[in-house]
């Protein structure tokens, strides 16, 4: 499975780049499309929820690797990352996966993942997408499968299923919860919003403390109008970023221990955002360097 990178700076206009050249932007939208030939991907799905408390074991469970060397099932992959840009909605990934043996068919009782199908649209199943150069992995997306569709196939040997995954940010943005009734410092308000979203029945999503990377930012943010009004998390975070000049996004990471989250929810104060070296697409920048290194004949 390989990808070609397409990056938009602001808005919807796309700049198409060679597969080995990744344009990293501070705030923007990054779209990976595959094939044609380019950067190999690793796509892992944690089907069994009993592994969810272990950030390492969840990816090592049976049948998790859709890009296994013995049978690469991923036919197409699109990753859309909109960092701190509410107009673009939440981050998401679309996968088209080969299903000739009906492994991903919910009615197939003989499938080894039958107990985990169909997909629960609220809870979802964790998915991780990485670029792969040699033995090195570069995390490009972490999220949750929330939708599965099965298009009609003209032949039994051409069956596919399509999955939609949303990132933790994508899950958070539409959640509605009460806003702050008084003014808050920007950093404190971001934490307040995340805590308020976590306790919303059924649709709430908890961002654990270990997954939060929130800059100290004393900028005073005005409360919602009227104070304490119920609003979507996306509206509330956008108000913080707009008034403080900051940015918010989710960065996927490769967990180093069983207890480490697979992502970071990042809030950058204006000074950090302005000084950061393409922090939003950090893995993309690393991946670019690795590809150039490999093409120069070096060993990765």
> Between these two residues, 272 and 233, which has the higher pLDDT value?
233
| Final residue belonging to a domain, choices 116, 136, 171 | 171
In a domain, residue 14? The reply is yes
7 and 146 inside one domain: yes
Gap between the Cα atoms of 277 and 274, Å rounded:
8
Task: Give the least confident one: 33-42, 144-153, 202-211, 243-252.
Answer: 33-42
140 and 201 inside one domain: no
Whether residue 217 contacts residue 237, with contact meaning beta carbons closer than 8 Å, is answered with no
CA 79 vs. chain centroid, Å, equals 8
| Final residue belonging to a domain, choices 114, 148, 171 | 171
Gap between the Cα atoms of 253 and 211, Å rounded:
10
Of residues 81, 66, 69, 100, the one with CA closest to residue 33: 81
**DSSP state letters, 97-109:** EE-TT-TT-TT-T
Task: Give pLDDT, residue 291.
Answer: 54
Q: Which three-class secondary structure state does DSSP give residue 5?
A: strand
153 and 128 inside one domain: yes
In this structure, the number of other CB atoms found within 10 A of the CB of residue 19 comes to 18
Task: Give pLDDT, residue 290.
Answer: 55
Gap between the Cα atoms of 30 and 211, Å rounded:
22
Gap between the Cα atoms of 193 and 195, Å rounded:
5
In a domain, residue 139? The reply is yes
Beta bridge pairs of residue 59: none
pLDDT band of 265, cuts 50, 70, 90: very high
Beta strand pairing call for 2-8 and 71-72: unpaired
CA distances from 205 to 21, 45, 171, 175, 200 (A): 35, 19, 7, 8, 8
Task: Give pLDDT, residue 83.
Answer: 52
Count how many domains the chain has.
Answer: 2
In a domain, residue 11? The reply is yes
Task: Give pLDDT, residue 76.
Answer: 85
Q: Which domain holds residue 145?
A: 2-171
pLDDT over threshold 50, residue 255: yes
pLDDT over threshold 60, residue 59: yes
Of residues 96, 109, 112, 83, the one with CA closest to residue 25: 83
Q: Which three-class secondary structure state does DSSP give residue 277?
A: coil
Task: Give pLDDT, residue 26.
Answer: 33
In a domain, residue 288? The reply is no
pLDDT band of 56, cuts 50, 70, 90: very high
pLDDT, mean of residues 193-199:
93
Ranges assigned E (strand) in the chain: 2-8, 15-16, 29-34, 39-45, 67-68, 71-72, 74-82, 92-98, 125-133, 136-149, 160-166, 176-178, 184-185, 212-214, 220-221, 230-232, 247-252, 263-268
pLDDT tens digit sequence for 212-238: 999 999 999 988 878 889 999 999 998
Per the document, the length of the chain is 300
76 and 139 inside one domain: yes
Residue with tokens 């989710």: 250
227 and 154 inside one domain: no
Gap between the Cα atoms of 93 and 126, Å rounded:
12
pLDDT tens digit sequence for 14-34: 333 333 333 333 334 444 444
pLDDT tens digit sequence for 104-155: 999 999 999 999 988 888 888 999 998 887 788 888 889 999 999 888 766 6
pLDDT over threshold 90, residue 276: no
Query: What's the mean pLDDT when you consider all of the chain?
Result: 78
Task: Give pLDDT, residue 64.
Answer: 96
In a domain, residue 248? The reply is yes
108 and 184 inside one domain: no
Task: Give pLDDT, residue 46.
Answer: 96
Whether residue 79 contacts residue 138, with contact meaning beta carbons closer than 8 Å, is answered with no
157 and 247 inside one domain: no
Cis peptide leading into 118, omega within 30 of 0?
Answer: yes
178 and 165 inside one domain: no
124 and 182 inside one domain: no
CA distances from 266 to 30, 62, 141, 196, 205 (A): 17, 32, 14, 17, 16
Beta bridge pairs of residue 165: 93, 145
For the chain, the helix, strand and coil percentages under 3-state DSSP, each to the nearest 5 = 25, 35, 45
Task: Give the least confident one: 51-65, 162-176, 267-281.
Answer: 267-281
């Amino acid at each position: 499975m390989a990808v070609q990178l397409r990056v938009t700076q602001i808005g919807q206009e796309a700049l198409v780049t060679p597969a080995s050249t990744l344009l990293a932007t501070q705030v923007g939208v990054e779209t990976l499309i595959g094939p044609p030939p380019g950067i190999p991907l690793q796509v892992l799905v944690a089907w069994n929820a009993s592994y969810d408390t272990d950030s390492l074991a969840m990816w090592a469970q049976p049948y998790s690797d859709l890009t296994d060397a013995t049978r690469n099932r991923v036919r197409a992959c699109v990753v859309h990352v909109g960092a701190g840009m509410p107009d673009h909605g939440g981050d998401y990934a679309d996968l088209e996966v080969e299903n000739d043996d009906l492994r991903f068919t919910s009615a197939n009782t003989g499938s080894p993942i039958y107990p985990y199908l169909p997909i629960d649209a609220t809870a979802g199943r964790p998915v991780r997408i990485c670029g792969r150069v040699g033995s090195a992995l570069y995390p490009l997306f972490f999220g949750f499968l929330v939708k599965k569709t099965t298009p009609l196939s003209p032949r039994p040997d051409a069956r596919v299923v399509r999955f939609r995954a949303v990132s933790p940010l994508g899950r958070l943005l539409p959640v509605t919860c009460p806003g702050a009734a008084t003014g808050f410092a920007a950093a404190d308000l971001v934490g307040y919003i995340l805590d308020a979203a976590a306790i919303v029945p059924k649709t709430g999503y908890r961002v654990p403390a270990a997954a939060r990377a929130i800059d100290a930012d004393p900028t005073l943010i005005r409360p919602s109008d009227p104070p304490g009004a119920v609003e979507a998390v996306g509206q509330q975070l956008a108000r913080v970023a707009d008034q403080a000049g900051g940015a918010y996004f989710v960065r996927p990471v490769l967990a180093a221990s069983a207890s480490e989250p697979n992502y970071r929810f990042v809030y950058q104060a204006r000074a950090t955002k302005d000084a950061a070296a393409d922090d939003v697409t950090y893995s993309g920048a690393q991946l670019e360097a690795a590809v150039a290194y490999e093409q120069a004949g070096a060993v990765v």
